[in-house]
Structure 1
Amino acid sequence: MPTLPPEHSRSSRLEAHQAREIAESFGVDAARYDRARPRYPSALVRRIVAASPGPEVLNVGCGTGIEARQFQAAGCAVLGVEPDARMADFARRGGVEAEVATFEAWDAAGRTFDAVIAGTAWHWVDPVAGAAKAARVLRPGGLLAPFWHVFQLPPDVAQALAAAYQRVVPDSPFTFPPDKQGLDAYQPLATRAADGIRAVGGFGEPEQWRFDWEQSYTRDELLDLLPTQGLLTRLPPERLAEVLDGVGVAVDASGGSVTMPYTTVAVTAVRTSGT
């Protein structure tokens, strides 16, 4: 789900994990985020659980607790780490234990885990420092598994979003180019995650897992989802409304609903013993 594709910057090559003002902007409407963001494929959850040596899971960037609740339902004990206190509070109200900190600064206090997961959040973590921290808190044989949702807007809707955003925020260093969606936008983030894992050592060779699926949205459902994207969370209400109006016109022209193909990509690596 492209929230900050660094290769699309028109100014400096800002790394995602350095853009703290965006990384910590999602809590502006935590209820909408939890309601609108899609859940992760059950096949992904089952595969991570099966590949982990036990049920204790650390959820980096747990947000409102979406993936944490899914792993709890699969029998796991989940601890969340979340830099935005508003998101962490929402997660706690949903039954997820959550501590407020960036992962890099978080104090594990000697605790270790069978898996470290991150749902559409690892790009907000320094890829080397994050992998090193994961290596310290994972038990031998434990699994590091950051994963991302990637979706493909229909071309006419993507073009309407790009046009509306560029009209409303003409001086933004970021864009929504329709030809850079899906895996084209997110593969660099997965590659950086794998490179960070290799750089710190202590892990086996990273693997990339892929799960393809699709989801249909009514006009209202899509317009509920889009404000949870990182480039829209900080827009003033009147500017956000103008962007959504432009997208709404395109959805209406498409019959009032859209079906979007999704790919969920995970980068996984096993913590080796004796390192």
Structure 2
Amino acid sequence: MPTIPPERAPLSDHEPHQHRVVAKSFGSDAERYDRARPSYPQAMVDRIVAAGPGPGVLEVLDVGCGTGIAARQFEAAGCRVLGVDSDARMADLARQRGLEVEVAAFEAWDPAGREFDAVASGQTWHWVDPVAGAAKAAQALRPGGRLAVFWNAGQPPPELAESFAEVYRRVMPDSLAARQWTMPAVDGYSVLCTRAADGIRQVGTFGAPEQWRFDWERSYTRAEWLDQLPTTGGHTQLPPAKLDEVLAGIGAAVDAVGGSFTMHYATLAVTAARSDDT
């Protein structure tokens, strides 16, 4: 798989990890989040497990575990998983699902001498300082252990993407959502991947970061898409009346294409192995 070239994405005062009030809004409806958010391709989970540093049961630390969507996939693959999340509401639901979770911002979390074979983070690493997070991951990993951070980039059919964009231009004209459907989803997530890779390099205790990509599809009915939409970052803090207006417009757009559609996903992962101690 290709390594990511060392071309640093410019940092600004508007980096996601500096605005965590949005990150902590997801727990406002943890049940919906757990029910509606997509999981991750099994091929990626299997590859992370196979890249572990040695035989035996893989010990995985899931950073920003949320309700445990990725953690359950790693457990099903035979791993032992510990979750870390800054939102107690998300952690409580994950515990109800059987996951062991500690509540803390990852940069402040204490490994307390514990070591892991893999540190994984799904749809979350942009809420973590990319350098401090990579340093904490290095502290928690065994030599040869792997850091793997990943995002689902979803792209609906072109005609539906334009209809979605029109809804947001009308209801939320100054929002990121009004722009996001007018460009390939992979482009935005590629910026996050570059920042993650740069943070890994700056720490200096990992090998060269690589990017893995896994393409897959998921079909959504109108009801399924409208169920997950309020769990995304551009919607969790909307006033109820504004959210209702968005949902009505998006629902009409899905109805216009027959009431269902196929989302094309590319799951992008940035991964690097911790260097052996010398």
TM-score by length of 1: 0.92
Q: Does 1:168 align with 2:171?
A: yes
In the other structure, the counterpart of 2:182 is: 179
Q: Any idea what the Cα deviations from partners look like across 1:191-232, whole Å, max 9, x if unmatched?
A: 100010001111000111111011110111111121111010
Letter in 2 for 1:274: D
In the other structure, the counterpart of 2:4 is: none
Q: Give the match's secondary structure for 2:179.
A: coil
Letter in 2 for 1:246: G
Q: 109, 134, 137: which is aligned to 2:137?
A: 134
For the residues of structure 1 that align with 2:177 and 2:243, how far apart are their CA atoms?
16
Letter in 1 for 2:132: A
In the other structure, the counterpart of 1:3 is: none
For the residues of structure 1 that align with 2:190 and 2:21, how far apart are their CA atoms?
23
Q: Which runs of 5+ in 1 are unaligned?
A: 1-6
Residues 162 and 182 in structure 2, CA contact (< 8 A), matched pair in contact too: no
In the other structure, the counterpart of 1:62 is: 65
Residues 161 and 176 in structure 1, CA contact (< 8 A), matched pair in contact too: no
Identity in percent? 65
Give how far 1:170 is off: 4.3
In the other structure, the counterpart of 2:34 is: 34
Residues 165 and 182 in structure 2, CA contact (< 8 A), matched pair in contact too: no
Q: Any idea what the Cα deviations from partners look like across 1:90-126, whole Å, max 9, x if unmatched?
A: 1000001011111001111111111000011011100
Letter in 1 for 2:40: Y
Q: Does 1:156 align with 2:159?
A: yes
Q: Any idea what the Cα deviations from partners look like across 1:156-191, whole Å, max 9, x if unmatched?
A: 333333333343334547643323232111100001
In the other structure, the counterpart of 1:195 is: 198
The within-5 A match list for 1:77-116 is 77-116=80-119
For the residues of structure 1 that align with 2:255 and 2:178, how far apart are their CA atoms?
23
In the other structure, the counterpart of 1:4 is: none
- Aligned alpha-carbon RMSD (Å): 1.7
Q: Any idea what the Cα deviations from partners look like across 1:16-45, whole Å, max 9, x if unmatched?
A: 111111111111111111111111111111
Letter in 2 for 1:264: T
Give how far 1:245 is off: 0.5
Residues 135 and 202 in structure 1, CA contact (< 8 A), matched pair in contact too: yes
For the residues of structure 1 that align with 2:123 and 2:248, how far apart are their CA atoms?
27
Residues 155 and 263 in structure 2, CA contact (< 8 A), matched pair in contact too: yes
For the residues of structure 2 that align with 1:124 and 1:172, how far apart are their CA atoms?
19
Give how far 1:79 is off: 0.4
Residues 161 and 243 in structure 1, CA contact (< 8 A), matched pair in contact too: no
For the residues of structure 1 that align with 2:90 and 2:162, how far apart are their CA atoms?
31
> What is the number of residues matched between the two proteins?
265
For the residues of structure 2 that align with 1:220 and 1:91, how far apart are their CA atoms?
24
For the residues of structure 1 that align with 2:275 and 2:192, how far apart are their CA atoms?
23
Letter in 2 for 1:148: W
For the residues of structure 2 that align with 1:111 and 1:69, how far apart are their CA atoms?
21
For the residues of structure 2 that align with 1:250 and 1:156, how far apart are their CA atoms?
10
For the residues of structure 1 that align with 2:101 and 2:94, how far apart are their CA atoms?
7
For the residues of structure 2 that align with 1:61 and 1:195, how far apart are their CA atoms?
20
Q: Does 1:52 align with 2:52?
A: yes
TM-score by length of 2: 0.91
Distance change (3 Å), C-alpha of 1:85 and 1:58: same
For the residues of structure 2 that align with 1:160 and 1:24, how far apart are their CA atoms?
29
